[in-house]
Amino acid sequence: MSETFRNYINGEWVDGPTFENRNPANTDEVVGLFVKGSAADMETAVAAAEAAFPAWSNTPGPARGALLFKVADILDRKFEAIAADMTREEGKTLPEAKGEVRRAINIFRYFGSEGSRLPGHLVPSERDRVHMFAIRKPIGVVGLITPWNFPIAIPAWKLAPALVCGNTVVIKPASVSPLCAWRIVEACHEAGIPKGVVNFVAGSGATLGAAMVQAKGLKAISFTGSCAVGEWLHTEASKRRLRIQLEMGGKNPTIVLADCDFASAVENVVNAAMFSTGQKCTATSRAIVEDAIYDKFVAAVVERTKKLKVGNGMEAGIDIGPAVDADQLKTNLRYIEIGKKECGAPLCGGNQLTGGAFDKGYFVEPTVFADVKEEHTLAQEEVFGPVLAIMRAKDFADCMRIANNIPFGLSASIQTSSLSRAFDFIYGMEAGLLTVNLPSAGVEYQLPFGGTKDSSFGPKEQGPAAMDFYSDFKTIYLKY
Ligand code: NAP
């Protein structure tokens, strides 16, 4: 009998009809049943958050921060179990899941300590005996909509800064991986965060998203997910002048120059393209390689990719888990077929994995296409699967031109031993997150996170920048 996970509205666990959350590595396993929230539930949740706002926003920042530390401690106590939940609901390997749970805990501690800072501004006035300063104030009820691929880190990096700034929230998690966000909400309940401050409503994105954006008391939305949904939300939110923050898709390049540390460049590209089944918004999906080492690099990437072990992420030694669900598997296979037509046969992979335990999940071979041209679909559209397009470039300038020739601008990487090239890349690359001699994926929480161009809209998430979305300045001039 599967456990039922109820919605959390105004401090109460709320029942209703349910939907299933299944393990993508073994679809026989139901991870849990989740209550399918209605539009009315969303309205009630926003109203509860609105009612809780005056008291929470007037709670001293250090006291709010102390509650976030408690949430972190509770998550820490359940660390192993939550990581296993994540592998079972999302499919990523257990070590990857543990890394993500650790990050969520660190995020709660990082923003918990912000409760004692909440930095404002104090500057000297031009006028005699005038004291002028600006303080941070919360904005009100914030709606948080999260995707499935980082099911605990993304809810954590929205929820923690929202709460510490004094806002109240309604979180709507992705339907294919709601359990990890539910675990955070459970921890908020256990920690004693007052009723109505945190509300959780799972269910259909279309229904709940429409209800959220229309809900009377809502003041802001922070969304991470696809460009299509983000654009729709932006249009609707703008009609009401809601504050909005969107983090969306990418088509991230890694530039590989002839002067790179070859072995580490191969490792970084394969890691960023394939790990987490390519389901990271910061994954490398284009490797743009200087002509002088192109053939050698392609051969080495293919050799390394063929060694990756695909399977159930709960098992030791597995590198790559399944696609998150049947739809994502279908998307991966569709793009692989497009790749075969436009770019020729892949140099490795290219098929769904079948037979034995594979038949119970959504497994696809890590796939590498070479000689991909800028006009090819695989060079332009996000797959969100373990599919790498390798592209040949004449020289560094050509690498940069190709890398920037897309509508997206989330993350980008360069592999080089030249300091000058690294800085040319840093100043010339159109992306919000850059790495040098590291994989394009794998960011920390202490600095701003987010992209540019079609990948993102609004203030950045994480680090000190997160506070700017979740608070407003009030400026005071005082004559004494
Ligand atoms: P998605 O389909 O846009 O879903 C994201 C969230 O939006 C889910 O909670 C979903 O609910 C909800 N949703 C769906 N339709 C909605 C609507 N009409 N109104 C409001 N909410 C709605 O995206 P996804 O497939 O989960 O995630 C993959 C995408 O996210 C990729 O493009 C990836 O690059 C991007 N991503 C970006 C970042 C970043 O930081 N830039 C990070 C991670 C992922 P349901 O699950 O119920 O449909």
> Within 13 A of 432's CA, how many CA atoms are on the CB side?
28
Cα–Cα distance measured from residue 135 to residue 283, given in angstroms and rounded to the nearest whole number:
38
- This prediction has a pTM of 0.98
Q: Is 247 a catalytic residue?
A: yes
Nearest to 37 by CA among 64, 19, 24: 19
Q: Give residue 277's pLDDT.
A: 98
Q: What is the pLDDT along the chain (480 residues), one digit of tens a residue?
A: 799 999 999 999 999 999 999 999 999 999 999 999 999 999 999 999 999 999 999 999 999 999 999 999 999 999 999 999 999 999 999 999 999 999 999 999 999 999 999 999 999 999 999 999 999 999 999 999 999 999 999 999 999 999 999 999 999 999 999 999 999 999 999 999 999 999 999 999 999 999 999 999 999 999 999 999 999 999 999 999 999 999 999 999 999 999 999 999 999 999 999 999 999 999 999 999 999 999 999 999 999 999 999 999 999 999 999 999 999 999 999 999 999 999 999 999 999 999 999 999 999 999 999 999 999 999 999 999 999 999 999 999 999 999 999 999 999 999 999 999 999 999 999 999 999 999 999 999 999 999 999 999 999 999 999 999 999 999 999 999
Terminal Cα-to-Cα distance of the chain (whole angstroms): 69
The position carrying tokens 């650790």 is: 102
91-101: per-residue pLDDT in tens?
999 999 999 99
Q: Tokens representing 460?
A: 């950045």
CB of 221 within 6 A of ligand 1: the answer is: no
Ligand 1 centre to CA of 464 (Å) is 24
Q: What is the mean pLDDT of the chain?
A: 98
* CA dihedral for 132, 135, 139, 144, sign (positive or negative): positive
Ligand 1 centre to CA of 351 (Å) is 26
Phi/psi at 441 (5° precision): -105, 155
Cα–Cα distance measured from residue 384 to residue 334, given in angstroms and rounded to the nearest whole number:
12
154-165: per-residue pLDDT in tens?
999 999 999 999
> Within 13 A of 45's CA, how many CA atoms are on the CB side?
30
Q: Which member of 89, 247, 290, 461 is catalytic?
A: 247
* CA dihedral for 312, 318, 322, 323, sign (positive or negative): positive
CB 366 within 8 A of CB 305: yes
Question: From the CB of residue 15, how many other CB atoms can be counted at a distance below 10 Å?
Answer: 10
Looking at the chain, the whole-number percentage of residues with pLDDT higher than 70 is: 100
Ligand 1 centre to CA of 460 (Å) is 17
CB 310 within 8 A of CB 320: yes
CB of 433 within 6 A of ligand 1: the answer is: no
Atom index in ligand 1 nearest the CA of residue 202 equals 47
| DSSP assignments along 70-97, one per residue | HHHHHHHHTHHHHHHHHHHHH---HHHH
The position carrying tokens 């969304």 is: 223
Where does residue 458 fall: left (phi above 0), alpha (psi -120 to 50 degrees), or beta otherwise?
Answer: left
3-state secondary structure of 387: strand
Atom index in ligand 1 nearest the CA of residue 175 equals 46
Diameter over CA atoms, the chain: 81
Q: At what angle do helices 205-214 and 39-57 cross, to 10 degrees?
A: 50
Cα–Cα distance measured from residue 52 to residue 354, given in angstroms and rounded to the nearest whole number:
51
Q: At what angle do helices 61-77 and 79-90 cross, to 10 degrees?
A: 80
Nearest CA to ligand 1 atom 26: 147
Ligand 1 centre to CA of 281 (Å) is 11
Domains and CATH numbers, the chain: 4-248+455-479 (3.40.605.10), 252-436 (3.40.309.10)
Q: Tokens representing 399?
A: 């690498």
Cα–Cα distance measured from residue 334 to residue 340, given in angstroms and rounded to the nearest whole number:
10
CB of 382 within 6 A of ligand 1: the answer is: yes
Nearest to 2 by CA among 33, 47, 43, 24: 33
